[in-house]
Amino acid sequence: MAVLGLGVDIVDRQRIERVLERHGDAFLRRVFLAGEVRIGADGGALRRASHVAGLFAAKEAALKALGTGWAHGVGFLQVEVLRHASGAPSLALHGEARRRADAQGVQQLWLSISHDGASAVAVVVLEGDRS
C-alpha cells in the first residue's frame, strides 16, 4: 500500500468559541452529522469549543487529503469523525467524498487529532493501492 493523500489542518479554539456564540446549533448542523459533537453545552464553553475545533480540523484535513477542499461536490457533511471504544478517532466518508476516495484507490484512512493551548490540529493520511 502507498500513501495516496495527506492533509493537515490547525484551528484556533477561540475562533470556534466565537462561531458557537454567534451561530450555535446552526453552525453545528451545517458542519457536523448527528452524534459527532459529543460534548454538549453543559460540558463548558471552553471544553466544547476545544472538542469542536478538533473535529473541524479533522474534516478540513480530510478534504485536503482527498485533494478537493470544499470543491467538486465534497463538503463537511460527507466526512464523519468517529471514535472507537478505545477513544481513538477515525473517519468515515459518504457520498461524493466516498466516491472520490474509491476512485483514487483509498483503502484505509488514518486520523490523528491533538490539542495544545488554544489550538487543535489534525492529520489525515489516505492509504491504498495506486490504480
96 has a pLDDT exceeding 90: yes
Query: Is the pLDDT reported for residue 69 higher than 90?
Result: no
Number of domains present in the structure of the chain:
1
CATH number, position 43: 3.90.470.20
18-27, 39-48, 72-81: segment of lowest average pLDDT: 39-48
Range of the domain at 65: 2-128
C-alpha cell at 53: 475545533
How far apart CA 18 and CA 11 sit, in angstroms, is: 13
Residue 8: pLDDT band with limits 50, 70, 90:
very high
Over residues 64-68, mean pLDDT: 91
Q: Write b or e for each residue in 92-130: b if 16 or more Cβ atoms lie within 10 A of its Cβ, otherwise e.
A: ebeeebbebbeebebeebebebeeeebbbbbbbbbbbee
Q: Residue for cell digits 471504544?
A: 85
